[in-house]
Every structure is written in structure tokens, then in C-alpha cells.
């Protein structure tokens, strides 16, 4: 019974595949893997916009949307209808083809990365040998789409927003990949399925997730911070920066194309959250042995929703960075910490099991953290403000 519920989607796919002639099997199999992804994640996007607005409202002691439907649950439908019926405006000076292509490329790229995310036991669209590499390689194309949007609009604000976005994404891609590399190094595989399998065991009630180890915890935090920056969310939402450059690279987009940008932004957020779950939070494994009756896909989505809630919480709390702070934080803090974390993970892998391994790994991370924190933040040199004209 429990297994049947766990494998319900896999079994359903097999049932649907049975009557198909063997010539068409690969095509139908691919379609049956892709179509649910195309339906589930936009649905999750709609749910997340609602949760985000409600949650932000409550964080700021407001009610949040509560008009459309009971408790406002139909708000995403209303938003969607409103966006779809808006006029599609293309500026006169724009390069029309690239202007059209940018959101399309962005959405396609955002969907492609889901191919390697294991959503449950036996539930991954393609188990690539180089899955993690695929994830990051395809993800980089998003930067180009952002540039296309910013440049094709012929608007100085969108160009500025695009430049900011690209600079930010490049700077934070390095700690993002470096913190993922620690996991790849310890498991010895780039395949997402193998990485999840490596976190299957339990000691007592405690799962062997990588986040439970010192280097894994540090890697997880670094990964989350970089992922926030990669998906341009607050406090790293400078590319959009409503108060300074209006809406960044998508000022000149309206109607359906704007909705595509919005969708792609959230899809990117879900994708990096899913990657964080796969790499550090044990993928679809239950958090304790006595919780293993929960279907694996339910575990994954609960973890995903928890991470999304964390992102919303962070957005409701933290103010936006300044551009120079953003860059310095990446190059002077995140990248050194990611490199140190890499060494720590390597030592963890080399040393035998025992308390000294924990001690070494912990000290190797904590010492640079405290030193960097003291030297960069405490003496106020890190965020020292320089004025060009005054003083």
C-alpha cells in the first residue's frame, strides 16, 4: 500500500505506456515525463505568488490579498487573467525579434533544468551522468536571456538592470558552483540520483544528509545565499530595484511577456531550491526513519515549500543591498568561504570516521568565518562608504 502510493506516478506512466507501439515509446515516455513538469511547476508558481503576498502581508502586519474567492485563494487566477488581457507593447526603438525572444529563451531555460531534478523515488525525467553540470550549464543561458531583454528594449534603465543582473549572476555563480562541488567531491558523482542515494542512511533518528555535517551546513548556507542572488530575489533584487531603476531589464515588457518573465523568475527559484534539496537536504528521503511511510514525492515537495517559505521570510526581513556591497560580499566573503569549505570537505573525505574529523572540519570553517567577519565587518572597513564629491 505504502509502496503503491510512493510509486503511484511511476506506475501510472507505465500503464499509459503499455498500449503504445514500441516505435513511439521513447517519444511518449519523454512526453509523459515533461508534461507533468510543465503543469506542476507553473501551478506551484501560482500558489507561491499567493503565499508570498499573504506571508509578506502578515510579516508587515497586514491582511494580504483576501478579495478573490475565500481568503483570496483565487487571487493568482485574477492576476493571470489581468496580465493576459493587457496590451502587448513593444517600444519603437526596440529590436523586435530579440525583444520577443528574450522571455521565451528565459522560460525554456528555466524549464530545462528541471530535467535532472529527482522529484521522488524513480521520478527523474533524465538521469544524466553529468546531471549537476547540466543544471549549471543550462542555467547560465538565463544570463544571456536577461541581457537580450535589457539590450533589445533600448531603454537605459533596462540596460542598467541587465548589466547589474549579469554582473550579479556571474559573481554569485562562482560560490554557487563551488559549494555544489563539495557534494560532488564527497559523493564522487555528478548524477543527481546518485547524490540523493548517497544520503539515504540514518543513524538513530538522524538522517545522513550532507547538511548535518559541518562542511555541508556551511555549503548549504553558501548555496542558499548564492541561490537567492542567482534568482534575483530580495535582498539581492538590485536588477529589478523598483525604487532606483524602476523594474530593471523588464520595464519595457507588458502583458504576456511580462508574465513569462515573472514565471521564469519563480521557476528559477524553485529549480535552485530543488537543487539545494537534492544536494544537501537528502532529496526525496524522509527526515526520520519512522516517517518513511510518507511518499517520496510528498517529502520532496514539503521540503521545497519549506525552502520557499524561507525565501519569502528572508524577503520580508532584509533590506536591499547596495551595488558595491553586493559585489564585495561575493568576492571578499562568499568566494573565500566557498574555497575554504572545499578544503574542509576534502579533509572530511580523507580522514577516518571519528570525533577529530568533526573537530577539524568545524574549526576549518569556523575560524575563517570569524576572522573574515571580524576583519571585514567589525572594523567597518568592509562597507566603508567613499564619497566622490563630499568629504
Partner 1 sequence: MSLPFVILALLTAAAAMGAMSLRPLVHCVLALVVSLSGLACLYLQLGAQFAGFAQLLVYIGAVGILIVFAVLLTRGDAMPPRRSLVQGRVFGLGVAVSVLGVLVWAISRSCLMSPTLPPAPVATVEQIGDALMTRFVLPLELVGLLLTAALMGSVMIAMQEGEDK
Partner 2 sequence: MSLLGGGILKGMFETARNFFGSYVSAQRLTTVPYPEERIPAKANARQFPFLVYDGDDSQAGLRCVACQICEKECPPKCISIIKSRDKRQDYKGQSQFYPATFDIDISVCMSCQICAEVCPFEAIKMDVEYELSTPDRFGGLWLHKAQLARSSRYYRQIHPQAAADSDGFMAAESSKARARVGASAAPVGLAPQPRHAE
With contacts defined by CB under 8 A, name the span among 123-131, 212-220, 302-310, 332-340 that binds partner 1.
123-131
CB of 326 to partner 2, least distance (A): 15
Which residues in 80-99 contact partner 1 (CB under 8 A)?
Answer: 95, 98
Listed in sequence order, the residues at least 6 apart from 33 whose beta carbon sits closer than 8 Å to its beta carbon are: 13, 125, 126
CB of 198 to partner 1, least distance (A): 14
Between 165 and 281, name the residue whose CB sits nearer to partner 1: 165
CB of 190 to partner 1, least distance (A): 5
Using the rule CB under 8 A, is 322 a contact of partner 2? no
Using the rule CB under 8 A, is 143 a contact of partner 1? yes
Pick from 316, 323, 342, 362 the residue near partner 2 by CB under 8 A: 316
With contacts defined by CB under 8 A, name the span among 138-146, 270-278, 334-342, 374-382 that binds partner 1.
138-146
Between 48 and 278, name the residue whose CB sits nearer to partner 1: 278
Three-state SS across the chain? CHHHHHCHHHHHHHHHHCCCCCCCHHHHHHHHHHHHHHHHHHHHHHHHHHHHHHHHHHHCCCCCCCCCCHHHCCHHHHHHHHHHCCCCCCCCCCCHHHHHHHHHHHHHHHHHHHHHCCCECCECCCCCCCHHHHHHHHHCHHHHHHHHHHHHCCCHHHHHHHHHHHHHHHHHHHHHHHHHHHHHHHHCCCCHHHHHHCCCCEECCEECCHHHCHHHHHHHHHHHHHHHHHCCCCCCCCCCCHHHHCCHHHCCCCHHHHHHHHHHHHHHHHHHHHHHHHHHCCCCCCCCHHHCCCCHHHHHHHHHHHHHHHHHHHHHHCCCCCHHHHHHHHHHHHHHHHHHHHHHHHHHHHCCCCHHHHHHHHHHHHHHHHHHHHHHHHCCCCCCCCCCCCC
Using the rule CB under 8 A, is 176 a contact of partner 1? no
Using the rule CB under 8 A, is 58 a contact of partner 2? yes
Pick from 318, 351, 359, 363 the residue near partner 2 by CB under 8 A: 318
Contact of residue 183 among partner 1, partner 2, none (CB under 5-8 Å per partner type)? none
Pick from 50, 124, 183, 190 the residue near partner 1 by CB under 8 A: 190
Q: CA angle, 361 as apex, 356 and 364 as ends, to 5°?
A: 120
Using the rule CB under 8 A, is 343 a contact of partner 1? no
Contact of residue 147 among partner 1, partner 2, none (CB under 5-8 Å per partner type)? partner 1
With contacts defined by CB under 8 A, name the span among 135-143, 176-184, 276-284, 308-316 that binds partner 2.
308-316
Per-residue interface string for the shown chain with partner 1, residues 47-86, x marking contact by CB under 8 A: ----------------------------------------
Using the rule CB under 8 A, is 124 a contact of partner 1? no
8 A C-beta contact, residue 119 and residue 297:
yes
Can you give the binding site for partner 1, defined by CB under 8 A? 95, 98, 128-130, 133-134, 136-138, 140-141, 143-144, 147-148, 151, 159, 163, 166, 170, 173, 188-190
Can you give the binding site for partner 2, defined by CB under 8 A? 55, 58-63, 66, 313-314, 316-318, 369-370, 372-374, 377-378
Amino acid at each position: 500500500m505504502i509502496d503503491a502510493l510512493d510509486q503511484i506516478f511511476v506506475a501510472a506512466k507505465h500503464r499509459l505506456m503499455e498500449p503504445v507501439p514500441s516505435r513511439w515509446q521513447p517519444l511518449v515516455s519523454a512526453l509523459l515525463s515533461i508534461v507533468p513538469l510543465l503543469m506542476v511547476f507553473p501551478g506551484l508558481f501560482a500558489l507561491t505568488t499567493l503565499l508570498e503576498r499573504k506571508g509578506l502581508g502578515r510579516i508587515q502586519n497586514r491582511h494580504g490579498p483576501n478579495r478573490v474567492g475565500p481568503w483570496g485563494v483565487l487571487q493568482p487566477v485574477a492576476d493571470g487573467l489581468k496580465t493576459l488581457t493587457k496590451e502587448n507593447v513593444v517600444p519603437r526603438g526596440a529590436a523586435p525579434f530579440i525583444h520577443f525572444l528574450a522571455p521565451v529563451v528565459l522560460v525554456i531555460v528555466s524549464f530545462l533544468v528541471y530535467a535532472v531534478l529527482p522529484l521522488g523515488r524513480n521520478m527523474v525525467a533524465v538521469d544524466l551522468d553529468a546531471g549537476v553540470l547540466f543544471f549549471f550549464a543550462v542555467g547560465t543561458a538565463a544570463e544571456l536571456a536577461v541581457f537580450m531583454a535589457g539590450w533589445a528594449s533600448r531603454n537605459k534603465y533596462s540596460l542598467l538592470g541587465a548589466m547589474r543582473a549579469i554582473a550579479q549572476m556571474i559573481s554569485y555563480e562562482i560560490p554557487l558552483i563551488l559549494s555544489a562541488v563539495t557534494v560532488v567531491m564527497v559523493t564522487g558523482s555528478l548524477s543527481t540520483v546518485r547524490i540523493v542515494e548517497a544520503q539515504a542512511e540514518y543513524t538513530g533518528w538522524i538522517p545522513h544528509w550532507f547538511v548535518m555535517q559541518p562542511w555541508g551546513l556551511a555549503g548549504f548556507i553558501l548555496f542558499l545565499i548564492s541561490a537567492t542572488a542567482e534568482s534575483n530575489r530580495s535582498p539581492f533584487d538590485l536588477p529589478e530595484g523598483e525604487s532606483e531603476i524602476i523594474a530593471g531589464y523588464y520595464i519595457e515588457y507588458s502583458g504576456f511577456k511580462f508574465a513569462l518573465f515573472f514565471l521564469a523568475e519563480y521557476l528559477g527559484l524553485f529549480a535552485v531550491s530543488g537543487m539545494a534539496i537534492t544536494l544537501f537536504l537528502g532529496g526525496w528521503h524522509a527526515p526520520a526513519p519512522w516517517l518513511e511511510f510518507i511518499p517520496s514525492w510528498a517529502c520532496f515537495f514539503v521540503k521545497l515549500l519549506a525552502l520557499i517559505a524561507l525565501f519569502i521570510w528572508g524577503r520580508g526581513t532584509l533590506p536591499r543591498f547596495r551595488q558595491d556591497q553586493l559585489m564585495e560580499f561575493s568576492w571578499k566573503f562568499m568566494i573565500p568561504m566557498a574555497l575554504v569549505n572545499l578544503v574542509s570537505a576534502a579533509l572530511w573525505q580523507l580522514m577516518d570516521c571519528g570525533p577529530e574529523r568533526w573537530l577539524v572540519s568545524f574549526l576549518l570553517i569556523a575560524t575563517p568565518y570569524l576572522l573574515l567577519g571580524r576583519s571585514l565587518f567589525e572594523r567597518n572597513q568592509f562597507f566603508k562608504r567613499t564619497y566622490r564629491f563630499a568629504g
